[in-house]
Amino acid sequence: MTFRAGEWKIIAGAGFGVVLLCLLSGTAVAGDTLKLRELSPNGADACFGRVYDAAHLKVHPKQKVTRIFFYYGHDPVSRPNEEPTANAVTSYNGFLSTTVRGAKAPEWAGGWCNHESGDGTSGPIRCGMDCDRTLASLKVDDKGRLLLSDLSSDIYLDPDSEEQLGKAEYNRQALGPEDDNFRLDPMPAATCKAEFARIDPIDPALGDPLRVRLKPDQPFCYGRDYDAAHMSSHPNQLTQSIRVFRGPVELASFASGGDAANWPDGADIAVSVTARKNGAKVTQTYSCQGEADQWRCAASAKMSNFSCDIAQKEIFLKRGANGMMMLANPNSSLAIVDLCSKAADGKTKSDDKVYRLEPMPQSACAP
């Protein structure tokens, strides 16, 4: 799961608008990324694109695409996030971006582009996707323009979306009958990067990812103490105060067995909550890993007050604006109640789902 602007969403995969529930049909290693000299004669990232004017769209009423760009090279979509650099996905080498009539932002998909011949050095160029689907077929004409064909109308949809959505909704979301056989002009790589940047614009207020803000060998403390006015307006909130921190114990644990190159994977954090009802304080340790734009942290037996198997109890951390940290507890994963009890099963029913935490001095997180 991942959340944006205080909401939670299901991760849709690395850039796709849907989760494709099947195995990868193939991969292209980083060393093969720019070997298609037709697309990139000098081995540099290559960009092709076209923006259609009103006159063209008037003559082609069944064409939904108003802007289309194809980028051959290194990932133009990913931005600094919480996943360790050592684990960055580099297998895609072809990236398609389209904007349809009335849309404010593009959609995109990525795949692996290679010659279709047995030795991979000649013949037509096909870009494959997950589930053995075709992203597009490519050809460069004598003027250096990219001829892009075999673009499926359901390129951004699940393979069985027509059955799931119904014909009318499927047709609304799919590309149009004239959205194929595009002729794209060569453009500077920066043009494609700017186009892909429109997909998910960076919010400058969020600043650096947590993995950059919070160093593997440095302690931190975030928290919040809720005043009477807040508690009065949130009668179902069980938490009076909360702290999220890494102290000497957590630092020593990572120093002895962690890998700084894969930070924050394997980082231990501690979460202390003080209950509203009786003022009791409980501390629970979680082990985290970077996932998209968040830390996904599973409850750990270390420093735990509970003896049952609590590995499936998870919380999520994400950077917030102005140096804040967001903590989400969607599935009863904070030690507000005994994590082994039936009360901790299922989704959180109280007002203890999303916390906006401020940086605090380390002394505020002392045991």
Mind listing the pLDDT tens digit for each residue in 47-63? Answer: 999 999 999 999 999 99
Count of domains in the chain?
Answer: 2
| HEC secondary structure over 10-46 | CCCCCCCCCCCCCCCCCCCCHHHCCCCCCCCCCCCCE
User: Looking at 183, 202, 221, which one is the last position of a domain?
Assistant: 202
Of the listed ranges 38-42, 154-158, 342-346, the least confidently predicted one is 342-346
**Is it the case that residue 15 has pLDDT exceeding 80?**
no
Tell me: do 284 and 156 sit in the same domain: no
308 compared with 21, residue with greater pLDDT: 308
Tell me: do 25 and 159 sit in the same domain: yes
Q: Dihedral through CA 330, CA 336, CA 337, CA 342, nearest 10?
A: 0
Instruction: Answer whether 241's CB lies under 8 Å from 273's CB.
Output: yes
| 182 vs 138: CA distance, rounded Å | 10
**Is it the case that residue 307 has pLDDT exceeding 80?**
no
Q: What is the pLDDT of residue 349?
A: 73
Tell me: do 104 and 221 sit in the same domain: no
Mind listing the pLDDT tens digit for each residue in 253-273? Answer: 999 989 999 999 999 999 999
- Mean pLDDT of the region 270-284: 89
Pairing of strands 281-291, 294-299: antiparallel
Tell me: do 174 and 36 sit in the same domain: yes
pLDDT-derived band of residue 306, with 50, 70 and 90 as boundaries? low
Residues forming a β-bridge with 104? none
pLDDT-derived band of residue 34, with 50, 70 and 90 as boundaries? low
Q: What is the pLDDT of residue 343?
A: 59
Q: What is the pLDDT of residue 87?
A: 56
Tell me: do 246 and 355 sit in the same domain: yes
Tell me: do 125 and 225 sit in the same domain: no
Q: What is the CATH number of the domain that holds 300?
A: 2.40.128.20
Tell me the residue type at 13. G
Q: What is the pLDDT of residue 282?
A: 87
Tell me: do 161 and 254 sit in the same domain: no
296 compared with 1, residue with greater pLDDT: 296
Of 50-54, 119-123, 305-309, 353-357, the range with the highest mean pLDDT is 50-54
Among residues 176, 138, 184, 132, the alpha carbon closest in space to that of 154 is found at 176
Among residues 223, 250, 257, 254, the alpha carbon closest in space to that of 239 is found at 223
Tell me: do 192 and 217 sit in the same domain: no
Q: What is the pLDDT of residue 341?
A: 65
Q: Which two tokens stand for residue 101?
A: 């009539």
User: Looking at 169, 185, 202, which one is the last position of a domain?
Assistant: 202
Tell me: do 232 and 195 sit in the same domain: no
What is the CA angle 353-359-364, rounded to 5? Answer: 95
Q: What is the pLDDT of residue 302?
A: 63
Q: What is the pLDDT of residue 272?
A: 92
| 15 vs 51: CA distance, rounded Å | 22
Mind listing the pLDDT tens digit for each residue in 74-112? Answer: 888 876 688 887 655 556 899 999 999 999 999 999 999
Q: What is the pLDDT of residue 249?
A: 92
Tell me: do 309 and 260 sit in the same domain: yes
DSSP secondary structure of 318-340? EE-GGG-EEEE-TTS-STTS-TT
Instruction: Answer whether 82's CB lies under 8 Å from 212's CB.
Output: no
| 107 vs 250: CA distance, rounded Å | 41
pLDDT-derived band of residue 214, with 50, 70 and 90 as boundaries? very high
- Mean pLDDT of the region 182-209: 91
Tell me: do 261 and 313 sit in the same domain: yes
Mind listing the pLDDT tens digit for each residue in 112-124? Answer: 999 987 666 677 8
**Is it the case that residue 208 has pLDDT exceeding 80?**
yes
pTM of the full structure:
0.63
Tell me: do 45 and 124 sit in the same domain: yes
Range of the domain at 226: 210-365
**Is it the case that residue 278 has pLDDT exceeding 90?**
no
Quick one: how many helices (H) and strands (E) in the chain?
Answer: 7, 18
Rg (CA), the chain: 24
pLDDT over 90 percentage in the chain: 51
User: Looking at 202, 232, 254, which one is the last position of a domain?
Assistant: 202
Of the listed ranges 12-26, 128-142, 265-279, the least confidently predicted one is 12-26
